[in-house]
Amino acid sequence: MTAIKNVAVVGATGKIGRPIVDRLLSSKLFNVTVLTRDENRRRELPADVTVKGVNYDSIESLESALQGQDALVSAMAFEAIHVQKNLVEAAAKAGVKRMIPSEYGNDLLNPKLADFPIYKPKIAIRQLCEKKVIENPPFSWTTIHNASFLGPDWTLDFIVDVKQRKADIKDGGDVLFCATTYDDIAQAVIGILTHLEETGNRPVRISSVNTTQNELIALAKELGASDGWDITHSRTEDLESEAKRRWAEGDHSEEVIAMFINRAFIGNGWGGYFPVRDNELLGIKGLERDELKAIIKLAMDR
């Protein structure tokens, strides 16, 4: 497969997308084009990025914008995942060689997650990619599975709120899960685009650190958050049952979505811990415990 030089990115100003754009540029290996429905976002992007306005409802608009692009990286938000259908169609028609759809998070090849309604749109996009591999060679795809996100913002609060000293401990708190920084997700993109053969038409599984809820609390206590904790306990099995019931009744709130996600990345054997990872292939060094403590300290002080 020929080398990747021209890379298009969608969702480029978001929490995942912006680190990807920055890492693509700093690598000095790629020309970066951002596709956006709002060209006013240009001011939020580096000057050496090409910005193209597109209509996501039009395959023709997207295909035109993707002409000459070797790769397409999607960092679309959860609520826009279905929009990628037109992106896949357009990328295949335009001759894009590698697409990285927005499937960040849990390992959706785990069959236990196939029935979760929040993951069905992501799975449908990957299945469409698999179809296009057959119909439109040389199109190919790679998904990035990073389990939990790790950062000093709401992503850490979701697991353990170290600033407010509050946590709902799930399944005892000692279940090991993978957590990944946005920078390491961005590095995974670089690794994929520079290792096309090794990463073609499969997921890559990455992690900055493997940890538990109880360890995160213990580290926060080492850093000074020694008392005043508001701790509750729950079972992810119960969260799953309640989430399915409420979803079926039409409750698609963030609270219900969080119940599904917690089952997926903390439930034992549900896709939140990867015994085998692609870190070395993709150039991801991971975090030492002192670096994890630094992220926790930032979250405590923000």
The SS3 of residue 169 is strand
User: Residue 43: its pLDDT value, please?
Assistant: 83
Beta bridge partners of 178: 210
The CATH architecture annotation of domain 6-147+181-205 reads 3-Layer(aba) Sandwich (3.40)
Q: What is the pLDDT of residue 1?
A: 62
- Residue 202 has a pLDDT of 97
Torsion sign, CA atoms 59, 62, 65, 70 = negative
Contact partners, residue 253, CB within 8 Å, separation at least 6: 246
pLDDT at position 271 is 84
Chain mean pLDDT for the chain: 94
Q: Which residue has the tokens 């079972």?
A: 235
Listed as ranges, residues in the chain with pLDDT below 50 are: none
Beta bridge partners of 168: 232
CATH topology for 148-179+208-274+285-301 is UDP-galactose 4-epimerase; domain 1 (3.90.25)
* Res 154: pLDDT: 65
User: For the chain, what are the domain ranges?
Assistant: 6-147+181-205, 148-179+208-274+285-301
Task: Report pTM.
Answer: 0.95
Question: Cα separation of 77 and 16, whole Å?
Answer: 9
Q: Are 66 and 72 a contacting pair, CB within 8 Å? A: yes
Which one, of 78, 90, 95, lies nearest residue 6 by Cα? 95
What residues have CB less than 8 Å from 207, skipping those under 6 apart? 146, 147, 178, 179, 180, 274, 277, 279, 286
Length, in residues, of the chain? 302
Nearest alpha carbon to residue 162 among 257, 105, 226: 226
Q: Matching CATH topology for 6-147+181-205 and 148-179+208-274+285-301?
A: no
Q: How far apart are CA 113 and CA 102, in angstroms?
A: 17
Torsion of CA 57, 89, 29, 102, to 10 degrees: 70
Query: Measured in whole angstroms, how far is the alpha carbon of residue 53 from the centre of its chain?
Result: 24
**Amino acid sitting at position 301:** D
Q: If 0-12 CB within 10 Å is exposed, 13-18 middle and 19+ buried, where does residue 1 land?
A: exposed
